[in-house]
Structure 1
């Protein structure tokens, strides 16, 4: 499953149909989705998140969880205890082994059941995405440290250039 399916969908309890808000972020630790963060709305609302194992069903419009008891509600400092060593998945910066920033995460492939990320889709630039598409990097080639994802090779490595075709190729047939 693609990570973007889990974002911006309404969270609903299966038991009573209560709506809890929209999923605003995926929290990842060691290439595994650990929590989905809910934006319940309101200025003074607490942080709310739940584990992906509690998902009963998901589609592009809504995500169904067992019941509202699986939602963790926490304030300020308590949130850090849950989310320590974690990073939000989308728009996360990626640098190569020479510490050259070359892109950011735009999507990921998640294994159903384990919620492990097998590969990341990286956007290098708007024009490169149009010409060549997103770069696809296996999760095993990326390491999280110091709030950055490090690619274990150089950004121009031949293995990195093998990627899907871009919008120009798909729509216009440009080669």
Structure 2
């Protein structure tokens, strides 16, 4: 499953049909999704998040959980306790072994059941994405440290999987 399926979908309780808000962020620790963060709306609302194991069903419009009892509501320092050593998945910066920034995370492939991330899709630049599509990097080649994902190779060593990527290739047949 792709990570973007879990974002910007409405969270609904199966038990009573209550709507809790939209999933705004995926929190990752050691290449595993630990929490989904809900934006319930409202200025003074507490942070709300839940573990991915509590997902009963998901599609592009809504995500169903058993009941609101699985939602963790916290504020301030409590949120930091839950999310220590974690990073939000999308738009996270990626640097190479020379500490050169070369892109950011735009999506990821998630194993169903374990919620482990097997590979990340990295956008390097608008024009490179048009020509080649996103770079796909296996999770084991990236390390989280100091609020950055480190790629253990040089940024020019990115391999492309056969995925029919690149807008120019898809739309115009350019190779």
Q: Which of the five TM-score ranges fits, normalised by the shorter chain?
A: over 0.9
Considering only aligned residues, what root-mean-square deviation do their CA atoms show, in Å? 0.6
Aligned pair count? 173
In structure 2, what is the Cα distance between the partners aligned to 1:104 and 1:75? 28
Structure 1 Cα separation of the partners of residues 66 and 96 of structure 2: 41
TM-score, scaled relative to structure 2: 0.98
Residue deviations 1:75-121, cap 9 Å, x none?
11100000000000000000000000000000000000000000000
**Partner of residue 50, structure 1:** 50
TM-score, normalization by structure 1: 0.98
User: Unpaired segments of 5 or more residues in structure 2?
Assistant: none
Matches within 5 A, 1:20-59: 20-59=20-59
- Matches of 1:170 and 1:75 in 2, distance apart? 46
Structure-to-structure mapping, 1:1-175, within 5 angstroms: 1-157=1-157, 160-163=158-161, 164=163, 165-175=165-175
CA distance in 2, matches of 1:114, 1:65: 17
Structure 1 Cα separation of the partners of residues 19 and 160 of structure 2: 42
C-alpha distance in 1, partners of 2:30/2:84?
12
Deviation at 1:161, TM superposition (A): 3.2
Unpaired segments of 5 or more residues in structure 1? none
Q: For residue 162 of structure 1, report the CA deviation from its aligned partner.
A: 1.7
Deviations 1:18-41 (A, max 9, x none): 000000000000000000000000
Looking at structure 2, the residues matched to 48 and 35 of structure 1 have their Cα atoms a distance apart, in angstroms, of 10
Look up the SS of the partner of 1:169 in the other structure: helix
